[in-house]
Amino acid sequence: MKAHSEEVRSKTLELLRQQRSQQEISNRVGIPIGTVEDWAAEWRKSGMLVGYKRAGMEFMQRAKQMSNGYYPCLRKRYRSMIWSDHVENRQFGFENILQAIHYYLKDRRPRPCAYCGRIPDYGKVWGLDRIDSSIGHVPGNLVPCCSSNHESPKLSCQLSKSKFTLLNWMERSMSRANGGIVPFRVVEQRLERIYTLAKDLGSFEPDKEVPNG
Ligand SMILES: [Zn+2]
């Protein structure tokens, strides 16, 4: 049997504490599910499970508290990012949900769509759009983006931009909203603001803002 480093073991324990699924832990740490189960059983027997249960609970309470009532939607959004990057074999750039909350909320309120400015329906938050769609959900590449529209889902920014390059799509949608061609310089300025937002969100360090409980 392959010996695993302490680092792998402690990472596994940390993920168990965050109540990640054994499948996810297996994928992220690179060990078989059976090993995750064995270790979990071992930690349970040695009494560490009590600790990890409590830690998991505290983690969730903290995430809930930071999410200000948006936790169920936020968690769903967060999990679907993990899943889609996993399925598409892309990099996923977050360690845990606490690192992503500021992407969905600003001052505890849902962020508007970075492209069109719409705010989500009551109790919801927008998902995150990958600016460069060739890479995964990694900080610096993400902005909140609307994914539904009352008239038609096709009108959401998420769906309508999917067939174009960002610049191309922005030019089209801004011109349409304006009822005529928008000067290229104006489109560029809008793009610049989106890149700046993505960069600011990516460099935000939640651990420095949130006191450790
Ligand atoms: Zn939008």
The structural domains of the chain, with segments of one domain joined by +, span 1-67, 69-213
Read off the pTM: 0.72
Contact 33/22 with Cβ under 8 angstroms?
yes
Calculate how far, in angstroms, residue 99's C-alpha sits from the geometric centre of ligand 1.
Answer: 23
3-state secondary structure of 131: coil
Identify each DSSP E strand in 49-206 by its residue range.
Answer: 105-106, 109-110, 127-130, 142-145
Low-confidence ranges of the chain (pLDDT < 70): 1-2, 49-53, 153, 206-213
DSSP 97: G
Calculate how far, in angstroms, residue 66's C-alpha sits from the geometric centre of ligand 1.
Answer: 24
Q: d(Cα 15, Cα 25) in Å, to the nearest integer?
A: 6
In CATH, the architecture of 69-213 is: 2-Layer Sandwich (3.30)
Whole-number pLDDT of residue 53: 66
Calculate how far, in angstroms, residue 81's C-alpha sits from the geometric centre of ligand 1.
Answer: 18
In the beta sheet, which residues pair with residue 109?
A: 106
Annotate 103-125 with three-state secondary structure.
Answer: HHEECCEECCCCCCCCCCCCCCC
Whole-number pLDDT of residue 176: 87
Calculate how far, in angstroms, residue 61's C-alpha sits from the geometric centre of ligand 1.
Answer: 31
Calculate how far, in angstroms, residue 117's C-alpha sits from the geometric centre of ligand 1.
Answer: 6
Q: d(Cα 21, Cα 33) in Å, to the nearest integer?
A: 10
Calculate how far, in angstroms, residue 31's C-alpha sits from the geometric centre of ligand 1.
Answer: 40
Q: CB-side exposure of 40: number of CA atoms within 13 Å?
A: 19
Contact 171/182 with Cβ under 8 angstroms?
yes
Calculate how far, in angstroms, residue 157's C-alpha sits from the geometric centre of ligand 1.
Answer: 4
Q: d(Cα 57, Cα 70) in Å, to the nearest integer?
A: 18
Calculate how far, in angstroms, residue 179's C-alpha sits from the geometric centre of ligand 1.
Answer: 18
Calculate how far, in angstroms, residue 173's C-alpha sits from the geometric centre of ligand 1.
Answer: 10
Neighbours of 165 (CB within 10 A): 10
Calculate how far, in angstroms, residue 148's C-alpha sits from the geometric centre of ligand 1.
Answer: 8
Which long-range contacts (C-beta less than 8 Å, at least 24 apart) are formed by 58-66? 58/213, 59/17, 59/18, 59/19, 59/96, 59/98, 60/19, 62/98, 62/210, 62/213, 63/97, 63/98, 63/101, 66/98, 66/101, 66/210
